[in-house]
Structure 1
C-alpha cells in the first residue's frame, strides 16, 4: 500500500490508507431464494400475459433479484489510517475517530440476543445485520457525545478490533460487559 502522505485525490487532499475492509454480503442461500422468487414472479406475470413465453419473463426478473441482493449487501466496514489518525467508517454513513474509543469487545453469536435485547442501551449506535452473527462492541469515551457505545455486525470482529488498535476488554462467559452512561 502507498503511504497516506504520498497518495492524493484530485483535490490534492491526502487519501487515507485502508487498514481493514469488510463487506457484509448476504448468505449464498439468500441469493438462491431471490432467484427462485424472481422466477416465480416471472411465472405469475406469464399468467397475466400469456402471449409472452414463460422463460422470457422468468429470466427478465432475475436482474431484479440480483439488484435486491446487491442492495442488501452494500454495507461495508472500513478502518482507515490517515494524517489525522485512524477512523472507523460504516457504509459511508457513519465514522468514528479512534481517539474517542476507550475499549472494545467481540460479542459472539451466542451472546448477540442478549446484547441486542435487554442489555442494549437506547442511546447506543447500532449497525446490525441479521445475517451476520457476531458483533463488535466499541465503548466510547467522549464527553461531548451522548452515545455510550457502538454495536456493529462483523463476521470477523476480532480482526476488526485488531485493526482499530483499541484495548480489547475481556468477555465474561458468552455475555458482553454491560455498559451504561452511569458507569
Structure 2
C-alpha cells in the first residue's frame, strides 16, 4: 500500500500550447497545399505531441513501506539516508549548479519543488537522488515517517 504517490504529468498550459501549434501547422500547410496535406501534417503533429506528453508525464514518485520509486529507478528504503525538502532557489540549484554529476535526477522543468534523498547503499554510485515533486514536504514526510498536514 503506497504511503505517497504522485504522477508528474505535464501541465494544462503545455496542452494548450500544443493545440495552438497543431492548428498553426494545419493552417500553414492547408493554405498553399490543400486540406488533405494540412490534415495529415496536423494529425501527425498531434499524435507525436500526445505520445510525447503522455510518456514524459508518466513519471511517478511512489513511496511504500519497502521502497522508493522515482521514475524508472527503485531503491529499498533501508538504503535511504538524510531527506531534505527543497523549494524555490534551493530546488533550482539542486538540479543545476549544486548538483553532483553522479546523482540520480528525476527532473521535470514544470515542477518547482524537489526532495534530495541521500543514498547509503555502498554499491550505488549515486550519492543522492533529487526528485522533482509538487509536494516536497509531503514526500519528505513520507520518506522519514513523519506526517504533514495537507494544505
TM range (shorter): 0.7 to 0.9
Q: Which residue of structure 2 lines up, in the alignment, with residue 136 of structure 1?
A: 115
2:83 and 2:143 in contact (8 A); partners too: no
Q: Could you list the per-position Cα deviations for residues 52-90 of structure 1 after superposition, in whole angstroms to 9, with x for gaps in the alignment?
A: 396x56874544443332222111111123xxxx20112
Structure with the higher fraction of residues in helix conformation: 2
Aligned 1:68-87 pairs, distance under 5 A: 68-81=52-65, 86-87=66-67
Aligned 1:94-133 pairs, distance under 5 A: 94-133=73-112
Structure with higher Rg: it is: 1
2:25 and 2:42 in contact (8 A); partners too: no
1:128 and 1:153 in contact (8 A); partners too: yes
- Separation in 2 of the partners of 1:157 and 1:164? 11
SS in 2 for 1:18: coil
User: What is the TM-score of this pair, normalised by structure 2?
Assistant: 0.82
Q: Say if 1:44 and 1:68 are closer, same or farther in 2 by CA, change over 3 A.
A: farther
1:39 and 1:58 in contact (8 A); partners too: no
1:35 and 1:65 in contact (8 A); partners too: no
Q: Say if 1:51 and 1:127 are closer, same or farther in 2 by CA, change over 3 A.
A: closer
Q: How many residues align?
A: 145
User: What is the TM-score of this pair, normalised by structure 1?
Assistant: 0.69
Aligned 1:42-81 pairs, distance under 5 A: 42-47=26-31, 49-52=33-36, 60=43, 62-81=46-65
